[in-house]
Each structure stands twice: as structure tokens, then as C-alpha cells.
Structure 1
Amino acid sequence: MVAMKAEYDYIICGGGTTGSVVAARLAEDANISVLVIEAGEHNEVMENTIMTGGWSMNFDTDADWNITTQPNPGANSRQIKVSRGKFLGGSSGCNGTLCIRGIKQDYDDWNMPGWSGEEVFSYMMKAENFHNKPWFNSCEEAHGTNGKLDVEPHDLAPISELILDSMIDQGLPLHEDMFSTGETPCGCGHVPRTVYKGDRVTAANFLLGLGSNLDIKTNSLVDRVLLTESSSSLRASAVVVLDKDGNKSEVKARKEIIVSGGAYCSPAILMRSGIGARAELEQHGIECKVNLPGVGRNLMDHLIVFIYYETEKSGLTNDYLLYHGDAFRESYRQWKEEKRGALSTFPFGAFAYARLDERMADDPIWTKASHLEGRDPMGLTPSQPNIEFFSTECYGGPKQYADFPTDNKHAFSIICELFAPRSRGTVTIKSKDPMDNPVVDHNYLSDELDLAVLAEACTFGNEIIMRGKGTKDVVRGSWPSDLIHHTYTNREQWKPFVRENATTCYHPGGTCKMGPSSDVNSVLDERLQVRGVKGLRVADTSIMPLLNQGHTQMPAYAIGEKAADLIRENTS
């Protein structure tokens, strides 16, 4: 473990997806000293952050923050495990590897200077080093080739090819690289992945090959940021660090401190530092230095529902490469020795976006909901999708999906994802002790329109599988066999299923959002600076005023690239 110096130019609180990018870009200047403080291990000693198929083996271990939500009344009062990577590279080391950028309008909707769709997409391209394959008709102008994030297309299993056929048959036309261009709200296509030559690519790769001006302190928690008076204003001056043996130390920052703990931990760090809602901080005996009531508010996430089907046809899914007999051992050997096989990639297959205007037109919840002119009740324009579909190429998902199809059985799923959720949650702290995880209340499905739209997504997704020409003749029934969802035909039938089975897509954001000074709940300005404090920024998905209609991995990289540029502008 590196011995920390007493002082650095920049201190990055969190070595996850965004924090690693910020640190790496700043450290490219050999005259600048940078410290990354990471709560978990270095990822280089963790095989399951490199083997793409080992993602779930990080959960429920010391490599997981092991956060579980408060009971969600809208989801049958279930508590949902919202795992996050606790190691260098963070959740980029255990996510689905998906590069789904969303729609450019998503970022225009932030209405923040410097954060338009064109600008955010350009930063995604800056991070990317795209490696095409002969079969993929990519949009060359949408991809970067000089970044540190190696990305390549995913070779589909046979079941995914059939699902693409069914998507097209059910009215979702093929646009092969639509998830990179950000211009297609309805259609299906392929999703490039953060996988290259059989290994997962994570944000920790950004930190490779840098000089001695970068220190990485692992197994160390950020307790709080120290704020000092400077010319009648507050300045972030140092960080209190707690090592794995419980020892505390202070490290000073000559220039800036950047909090990159993610949507759950960044607001917690700010609160322990005395930045947040005054009444809430005082409950925990924390002196309120800056009264910012928006800290920990505006928590958003994308909910998904897995719908599984059984097929009797062998060779369509990849279950036989993982669950049948001694298959897992051979797949592990293939990855370890040859960087190929089922564990060298993530088992997601075909993807699609859809608008639901016409399908929701008969729903009174939808038709009576208030909305702005030119936008639907979810707040979206016609250029933005309401939902996403994607498929698995075998059985599997979060840990509750444990009915593995052994004994030569085969299963696959279509996953329905809700965009632009109206429900909002909170992140608070249990105490001022940094060893206590934040208290996360997602408030999932608290808005009845979220339930209605996600139930309609399930209706449509089931139609794709049960009616689409590619899959309608290969489905035996629901998986597990005691479920009967394949017979459901309308959203009212799906609603109980959604309440009982909806789970997180691991896309939390919004808890330290950017906003104009007129917004009392904004925590940051457009330069990611914490209001009322000099020398302190936040950089991760917590800064997002609204979630993108996509996945959050690529925005997290873009935020890191943009943050580094903003910081360098201050010193130029």
C-alpha cells in the first residue's frame, strides 16, 4: 500500500469509474501531484473484475458496498440490494459492460451550459478506443479511437439473433449502431461493450502507465472533507482518511478536492463534511457549514423486470456452457488460457428502444397526467424512448435468480427497462461514522405512472417473444415453470408481477445534482463546484439533474473527462 504524502495538488475521493478518469487525466501533467483514495482493493488482485463473466462473484463480498434499500412500498415493500463495486475502477468492474449512451436530447434537457448532448457525446468519444469487427456496420463518426477505454462489439448467441428478428417483426426496425449515435428512439440494434480481447475493460485501465506523481491509496475510507475559512469564504483544504486498521490521518490539498464516491457515497461524504440540509446534519451532531438541502435528494434509478422463458431447443442459449455438467470448469479454462468462451463476455444479447405513446393512449393514468407541451407524461419528447428491451443469452441476473437450468434445460429472458422515472428517492446518513453505509431510499414505483409504463413495457416485451417470428416457435413456456407470465396479454395482468419482480438496473444518479443558482435543491454549478465552497467539486453520476435514456456507464466516463477539463481550465 502506498504511503500517502502530507500534501497533494489534487485529491480524488473515490477511485471508481469517474474518479479514475479524473485522476488519470490530471496526472498526465507530470508537474501536478494527484492522490486517489479508494475504499476497496486494487483491482489488479481481483480476477473477477477482469474476467467479464465473473461480475456477480463480486457481490455480497468485501468487493461490494453491500447497500440494501429501505422498504419500497410501491414494490410490495421489498428491500432491494443495490450492489456497487468497492475496488479500484468501481462499478465499471462489475457492471454489464454496456455502452448505451442515450439520446442527445437527454443531455440538452439538463439545460446546463457546457453539457449539451453534442458536448457530452464528444466526451464519451474522447474516452473511447473503439475496435470494430468485420460483421458490425458501425457508425464511424460516432466512435472515438484515441481514448483509454477499449470497446468492441459483442458476438451474439443464436437466441439473440432470433430475438432481433422478433424485435424487427414487432415493429422495432434494425439500426445496427443506434446506441452509439444517440439519434434513434425506436428500433433495435447492437451494443458495443467494454470488453477487449476476452477481458473486461474498466476505469482502472486509465491509471495504467502513469508516473510517480500519481499515488493510489486503497483500502482507505474518506471520512470527510475539512473546510477552512479563507477571506470570509469556505475552502476545502484537506481530507480525513480512515485506513483499514482504523487509523485516521489528514491529507492536505493545495488546489482542489474532487468527491467521486458515486450517487450513494458522494452525498454521504458531503454530509459528514457539514454540507447538506441543516436539520438533518444537526440530528447527527454535525455542524452545518453549508446549508444545501439538495444533498442526497433527487435520487433516480432505472428499474428493470426480467421475464424468463424456457426453450427445448439446445444450442440457442449459452446455458450449456455454464450450468450443464462440468461446463463451467471448461469455460473458465478457456478464458484463463485462451481469453475466449462464455466467461470472456457478458451474457446480454439484443437491444431495442421503444416509444409507447400509442400503446398508452387508452390508459387513464397516462392520459390524465399533466405534462408540458411537446412532451409526454414522463417528460420526454418524441425523440426520446420510453423504454428499453434487452435479452440474456442464458439464465441469470441478480442473486434472486437462482433457478439455474441444469440437466440440459435452457432459458433466456427479455428485460424491460423504464426510462424517465417520476419516482424520486433520497440518500441520507445513519450517523457521522464513515463505517456506516448511507441510508438509501429509492422509493421505487411510488408514482403510479411508473408502474403503468413499466407494466406496458412488459406487455410489449412478452409480445416480442411470444409473437415475434424469430422466437414464437422456440418457447416452451415461462421459466421457472411455475410462472405463467407468458400468457399475460395486458398491463393490468403485468402490474402485480412488476411490483414483485422489478429490480434495479444499477443506474443511480442525481443526488448532488447540477443546477442554476435559482434552484434551491441544486448542489453544484455547471463547473461541478459545490455551492458555497471553493476548491471542492463532485464528479460522478450524482451530478446528473436527470438520468439519460440509456445506461450510465458512458455518461460516467464523459463526466470524468469533462471534469478534468474544467479543473485544468482553472489552472491554465
Structure 2
Amino acid sequence: MSPGRLEEEYDYIVCGGGTSGCVVAARLASDPNIRILLVEAGAHNEDLENVHMVGGWSKNFDGPEDWNIVTKAMDGVDGRQVKVSRGRFLGGSSGVNGTLCIRGCKQDFDDWELPGWSGEEVFAAMRKAETFHTKPWFKAAPNAHGTDGLLHTEPHDLAPISERMLESFQSQGMVLDPDMFTTGETSHGCGHATRTVYQGLRTTGADFVTKENQRDNLIILVDTIVDKVNFDHDDNKLRARSVNLVSKDGQKRTVSARKEIIISGGTYCSPAILMRSGIGPKADLEKLGIQCLVDSPGVGKNLLDHLIVFVFYEVTKPGLTNDHLVYHADSLAATYAQWQKEKTGFLSTFPFGAFAFARLDDRLKDEPLWQEARESAKPGRDAMNLTKKQPNIEYFTTECYGGPKQYDDFPVNSHAFSMITELFSPRSKGTVTLSSADPLDNPIVDHDYLSDPLDVLVLSEGVRFGNEIVMKGKGTADVVKGAWPAKLTHNAYTSREEWVPYVKQHATTCYHPAGTCKMGKSSDPMAVLDEKLKVRGVEGLRVADCSVMPSLHCGHTQMPAYGIGEKCVEFIV
């Protein structure tokens, strides 16, 4: 939409057209009597082929479709900086993620102890967003999926290496529970992860507000940055009244909201908008010349993320992995032509394969650090503050070689896959702060990864167990040739201590940032929001995205982001 068509006032303004923001805007627009403005910093997604083509996801990084945020150097990961890419276009990171529908466990949300946010209620909100399309071979859990939402999902057809990995998981004590990542009730087992893919196309938050779901009372403004929220004094209270916008060509406008403003900028940008608006830690704001309207020390704090570690393996037989479809000879050109013509093949889906959750109690019970933390934990909780209903680790595999950009030694004549280990309930927390008051400057992100030694302990033991599953598992032991590339030596590692340097050198983000505008009880001075997502200290302003999560659940953030959008509208109407 052109800024020239912009009206001066709407009923609601949604600041951010990512996963949650699109849900909020779409649900509000179901009432034809109200008008909504949805503001997105990046481009419209309609012509972005690498968004719609699931296998094109990595082409959206490092360019205009990426926020291009890089963390500070962090001691816990050997002084490395980590690129924390986020989608900068309509649909946001739902247009660039791994398409995985891994909801977590119901206990994760029960632990928040906030009205309206129990596990049952959050899972119901996630179901509301979904229309699930099963396949003949898939054993879907009864009543676990949504049937009339705007997000279309389906199971993934596994490559042979993934079928073998399911065998290996089971041979190492993980019972097969096919739809466990939907039900949220299994903490040690393996199964299938459904995907936000349908008929060869990625489905995203943008689908809620475009195509057949576009409404005349919802105006979408793209290529426009939200600078800050402005407030009026209403009965001695601050009330959000308008937002300052900056278009791609530098044009500035102010647009008013009759009812409410909802910030959905994501875990990095939502706290930045609040801080530029004068809501945040007073001392930090004043250093930048920003008048502090509400001293809210929790804004930008409590930054959480799931760390993952890739371990790669070469296999002895062709046809087990999908490398031949993208890396061998001119296969990529044929694969791309197939997708363009038929919307099928390798590029019509995301090359993740088999999945599992694991508890590590027995493996860590003799570790002094684990024992010490366990002694000080609440009754019924382990050293990571988890119950037995919640996993310590997630495992998932790729069906070909691939990962972060540093893994560029592609198997042009070989066949490889990876085992990925993901750490749940991280104790290491970081911050998001402003680099300046300029809305065009990215915030400063410091995840402080692996600063807590307990995170190092659990993740390194998780990687060790994952390696055992691959090397000793019934389905894979006979086909694993060794490490890929050969210069890696992890196949010789036996002790947990041997894995610690590898973890520090290779741990990277799973792109699950959360927590920087957390909800909480009125007694919590670090709670930025109340349980209805209202910003404490002002009226007419809410936040709706994964930044609102008080603690990070044991799953992936995509489905909770949809659920948070659904819950926000539930609270508004």
C-alpha cells in the first residue's frame, strides 16, 4: 500500500506484520465495523519466491528480507558472534523458519501460573490457528489438531535416512509416539513433526491477511518502520494514542488509534519500540536522551533462546539422504524446475527428518554440578527446573547436509546428514538494548549463550547421547561411515568432556528468541505486561509476540506465536 493512501486514524494499529501480528490483525478485521492498520517494516511477501518455495528459506538471509542482527561477542561460545536472522517482510519469521509445528509440553505453560495461559488454554489457541491435512500413513492423535484455522499444516514424508533414525531412537529407549509434538504429553520419545506446508507451498502468518483472507477494513502498510508510540494524559493516566512511522523513502507520518495499539515487532524489536516510546529501564533511556515515561526495568531483559548443535555424518549408501537432489552434478536445476512446474520435490518441503525428546536424569545424576542444582530446586523439579513431564533435550535430523553458513563443505560426491541437539530450559539469559534513539538502527543483542555452566553440562551430554544414538542405533549404525567433513573427529569422542569444546565452538541459535517483554504478576517488578498482554503503567497498549513469554517452553516458537496472536484478540474482544 502507498503511504499516500494512509488515513489519519484507525480503530486499532498493529505494529509488526510477523507471525503474531498478522493473526491479531486478521482476527480483529473479522468485525467489519472496525478499521485496522497493520504496519510492516519489510516488503509484502507476494513476490518473494523464496518465501513460498519452502526449500528457498536460506536465500532470505543476509539481504533486505533479513533484519541482519548479529549478537555481541559472547564468552560462553568462545568469543563468537552469532547471526540471529529474523524475517523482515510480511509474515516475518514464519516465512523463513523450519516450518516445524512442535508445540512443547502443556506443563511449560502451566509453569507460567498466569490466568488464561494454562497448557490446555494455550494448546487450544494453537489449534484455533490451524487447519491440519493428514496423509494416509500418518497416525494423527485424536482431537489434537485444528480443523478450520487459516494456517494449513501437514505431515512430512520422510527420506530413508529419517526412517532409519526413528529405528535408532527406539533402539536407544525412545518409544515411538507418532504425533507427540502436537499433544504435548510425551517428554521422552520419538515421532513426526508436522509442518506449515501445504500443496508444495509454505504457509505463513501472511496468509491470514492476504489472498482470500484480505479484508477491506484491514489496511496493510509495508516498507514502514514503527519509530515509537505517543501518549496522551487521560484521567492522570498515560494512554497510547498514536504511532510515529518512517517509510522506506524517509517520509515521516503519525497515525492515531481510537481504541488500542498492539506491538508485534518480535523479541528484538518490540522492546526497542517500547524503549524509544519511553517505556523501559530509566537509566538506559536517559543515557540516550529519551524521556522515561514508565520506568519498566524488565523491558529488554530476560532474553532467552534455544541453542542447537549440528553434528554431521557421512553414510555409506546412496539414496538414503537427499544430497543427490541438490548437490550432485546439475541436480539443483532439475529440482528447481520440478518445483516451478509441479510444486513437488525436494524444494517443496524443509529437509528436517526424524524428531525426539529426551530426559537426561539418569545420564547426569552423578555429575556434581547437576546434583548441586538439583538439591536447591523445588520439589518435583530437576536441576533445570523441569518436571518429568518436560524434556531436557530435543533431537532432530536433517535429510541432507546443511546448516548455518559456516557449513559449506557440501558433499558433491558423497551423502551426509546431521543430528541436531537442542537445549531446553536454558539458564543463560541475555538482553536487548538500544544502540541509539534512531529507529533505523538495530538494537544491541547479547544472548550471553552458555554463560551458565549448567547449560554447558546438559547440552554437551545431550550431544554425546545424540552421537551414541547415531553410532549405535539399530537403524543407522551399519550405514554411518564417519564424520562429515572428515576433518571433524567427533566419531572418536566417548566422554562428555570431549564434547564440551565442540559445543562451545559450534553451538548456534535455533531462532527461538523470547522473553524480553515478559508477562507476569503485579508483584514481579520485571514483568512488563499483565496476563492480558497489557503494558503495565499505560492504557491502550499491548504486546503480542514471543517476547511476552515469561519462560521459554520446551518446543519451537512458531505455534506459540500463532497462539499468542489468537489469545491477544481473545483478550481484546
Q: Same fold judged by TM-score > 0.5? A: yes
Determine the structure 2 residue equivalent to 1:534.
Answer: 539
Q: Distance in 2 between matches of 1:72 and 1:312?
A: 38
Match status 1:381 vs 2:383: no
The residue identity in structure 2 corresponding to 1:116 is S
Determine the structure 2 residue equivalent to 1:553.
Answer: 558
Match status 1:244 vs 2:248: yes
The residue identity in structure 2 corresponding to 1:565 is E
Alignment of structure 1 residues 274-313 onto 2, 5 Å: 274-313=278-317
Secondary structure of 1:250 counterpart: strand
Secondary structure of 1:204 counterpart: helix
2:407 to 392, 401, 420: 401
Q: Distance in 2 between matches of 1:325 and 1:449?
A: 45
Determine the structure 2 residue equivalent to 1:344.
Answer: 348
Q: Distance in 1 between matches of 2:191 and 2:219?
A: 41
Secondary structure of 1:293 counterpart: coil
Q: CA RMSD for the aligned pairs?
A: 0.6
The residue identity in structure 2 corresponding to 1:304 is I
TM-score when normalising by structure 2: 0.98
1:419 to 401, 414, 424: 424
Query: 1:322 Cα deviation (Å)?
Result: 0.5
Determine the structure 1 residue equivalent to 2:117.
Answer: 115
Q: Distance in 1 between matches of 2:521 and 2:26?
A: 29
Determine the structure 2 residue equivalent to 1:228.
Answer: 232
Determine the structure 2 residue equivalent to 1:12.
Answer: 14
1:253 to 247, 250, 257: 257
Q: Distance in 2 between matches of 1:229 and 1:498?
A: 52
Q: Deviations over 1:309-346 (max 9, x none)?
A: 01121000000000111111111111111010100000
Query: 1:556 Cα deviation (Å)?
Result: 0.2
The answer for unaligned runs of 5 or more in structure 2 is none
Query: 1:498 Cα deviation (Å)?
Result: 0.2
Q: Distance in 2 between matches of 1:21 and 1:478?
A: 43
1:392 to 398, 409, 433: 398
Secondary structure of 1:141 counterpart: coil
Secondary structure of 1:304 counterpart: strand
The residue identity in structure 2 corresponding to 1:79 is Q
Alignment of structure 1 residues 425-436 onto 2, 5 Å: 425-436=430-441
Secondary structure of 1:28 counterpart: coil
Query: 1:394 Cα deviation (Å)?
Result: 0.3
Deviates more, 1:484-493 or 1:448-457: 484-493
Query: 1:212 Cα deviation (Å)?
Result: 1.2
Q: Deviations over 1:84-118 (max 9, x none)?
A: 00000000000000000000000000110000000
Q: Distance in 2 between matches of 1:399 and 1:372?
A: 41
Query: 1:257 Cα deviation (Å)?
Result: 0.3
Determine the structure 2 residue equivalent to 1:89.
Answer: 91
TM-score when normalising by structure 1: 0.99
Q: Distance in 2 between matches of 1:402 and 1:290?
A: 47
2:214 to 202, 205, 210: 210
The residue identity in structure 2 corresponding to 1:375 is R
The residue identity in structure 2 corresponding to 1:156 is L
Query: 1:140 Cα deviation (Å)?
Result: 2.6
Q: Distance in 2 between matches of 1:375 and 1:491?
A: 23
Match status 1:78 vs 2:80: yes
Query: 1:487 Cα deviation (Å)?
Result: 1.5
Determine the structure 1 residue equivalent to 2:500.
Answer: 495
Q: Distance in 2 between matches of 1:398 and 1:26?
A: 37
Identity %: 63
Q: Distance in 2 between matches of 1:403 and 1:483?
A: 12
Alignment of structure 1 residues 467-478 onto 2, 5 Å: 467-478=472-483
Secondary structure of 1:470 counterpart: coil
Determine the structure 1 residue equivalent to 2:570.
Answer: 565
Determine the structure 2 residue equivalent to 1:186.
Answer: 188
Alignment of structure 1 residues 93-104 onto 2, 5 Å: 93-104=95-106
Secondary structure of 1:456 counterpart: helix
Determine the structure 2 residue equivalent to 1:333.
Answer: 337
Deviates more, 1:257-266 or 1:486-495: 486-495
The answer for unaligned runs of 5 or more in structure 1 is none
Query: 1:401 Cα deviation (Å)?
Result: 1.4
Determine the structure 1 residue equivalent to 2:68.
Answer: 66
Secondary structure of 1:168 counterpart: helix
Q: Distance in 1 between matches of 2:251 and 2:128?
A: 39
Determine the structure 2 residue equivalent to 1:151.
Answer: 153
Determine the structure 2 residue equivalent to 1:449.
Answer: 454
Q: Deviations over 1:197-256 (max 9, x none)?
A: 000000000012332110000000000001111110000000000000111100000000
Match status 1:366 vs 2:379: no
Q: Distance in 2 between matches of 1:154 and 1:211?
A: 32
The residue identity in structure 1 corresponding to 2:70 is T
Alignment of structure 1 residues 126-165 onto 2, 5 Å: 126-165=128-167
Q: Distance in 2 between matches of 1:364 and 1:71?
A: 29
Determine the structure 2 residue equivalent to 1:316.
Answer: 320
Q: Distance in 1 between matches of 2:364 and 2:381?
A: 14
Q: Deviations over 1:392-435 (max 9, x none)?
A: 000111211111111x2111000000000000000000000001
1:166 to 165, 168, 180: 168
Determine the structure 1 residue equivalent to 2:511.
Answer: 506
Q: Distance in 2 between matches of 1:447 and 1:399?
A: 26
The residue identity in structure 1 corresponding to 2:234 is S
Q: Distance in 2 between matches of 1:124 and 1:491?
A: 37
Superposed structure 1 runs of 4+ greater than 3 Å apart: none
Determine the structure 2 residue equivalent to 1:464.
Answer: 469
* Structure 1 contact 28–210 (Cα < 8 Å) conserved: no
Q: Distance in 2 between matches of 1:311 and 1:358?
A: 30
* Structure 1 contact 27–210 (Cα < 8 Å) conserved: no
* Structure 1 contact 69–441 (Cα < 8 Å) conserved: yes
State the aligned residue count.
567
Secondary structure of 1:358 counterpart: helix
The residue identity in structure 2 corresponding to 1:146 is D
Deviates more, 1:480-489 or 1:192-201: 480-489
Query: 1:133 Cα deviation (Å)?
Result: 0.1
The residue identity in structure 2 corresponding to 1:60 is D
Secondary structure of 2:389 counterpart: coil
* Structure 2 contact 315–415 (Cα < 8 Å) conserved: yes
Q: Deviations over 1:56-83 (max 9, x none)?
A: 0000000000000011101001000000
Deviates more, 1:249-258 or 1:369-378: 369-378
The residue identity in structure 2 corresponding to 1:557 is Y
Q: Distance in 1 between matches of 2:450 and 2:146?
A: 37
Query: 1:362 Cα deviation (Å)?
Result: 1.6
The residue identity in structure 2 corresponding to 1:13 is C
The residue identity in structure 2 corresponding to 1:335 is W
The residue identity in structure 2 corresponding to 1:226 is N
* Structure 1 contact 35–217 (Cα < 8 Å) conserved: yes
Secondary structure of 1:453 counterpart: helix
* Structure 1 contact 176–190 (Cα < 8 Å) conserved: yes
Secondary structure of 2:260 counterpart: strand
